[in-house]
């Protein structure tokens, strides 16, 4: 009977650990997605700056 009690007491701990691990994984994945979004925004901004510089160079070369 004590073996059964031990197992039944361990199951909530196991579930709790699994839930905590999943929460941590979700937090990590969310942070990765935020980082990916920031990187893509920086890349887009750099492209926009290059295009603006190209337009400016072309405009100045006509003057």
Torsion of CA 24, 25, 27, 31, to 10 degrees: 140
Give the angle 57-40-54 at the CA atoms, nearest 5°. 5
The structural domains of the chain, with segments of one domain joined by +, span 1-63
Beta strands in 1-63 (DSSP E): none
Predicted local distance difference test score (pLDDT) of residue 7 = 66
Give dist(CA 9, CA 5) in Å, integer. Answer: 6
Judge whether residue 52 has pLDDT over 90: yes
Judge whether residue 21 has pLDDT over 90: yes
Predicted local distance difference test score (pLDDT) of residue 63 = 77
pTM as predicted = 0.66
Give the model's confidence band at 1: pLDDT under 50 very low, under 70 low, under 90 confident, else very high. Answer: very low
Question: Range with the lowest mean pLDDT among 2-6, 34-38, 46-50, 56-60?
Answer: 2-6
Give dist(CA 9, CA 7) in Å, integer. Answer: 5
């Amino acid at each position: 009977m004590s073996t059964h009690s031990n197992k039944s007491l361990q199951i909530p701990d196991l579930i709790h650990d699994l839930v905590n691990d999943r929460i941590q994984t979700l937090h990590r994945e969310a942070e990765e997605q935020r980082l990916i979004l920031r990187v893509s925004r920086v890349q887009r901004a750099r492209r926009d700056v290059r295009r603006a510089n190209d337009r400016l160079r072309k405009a100045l070369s006509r003057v």
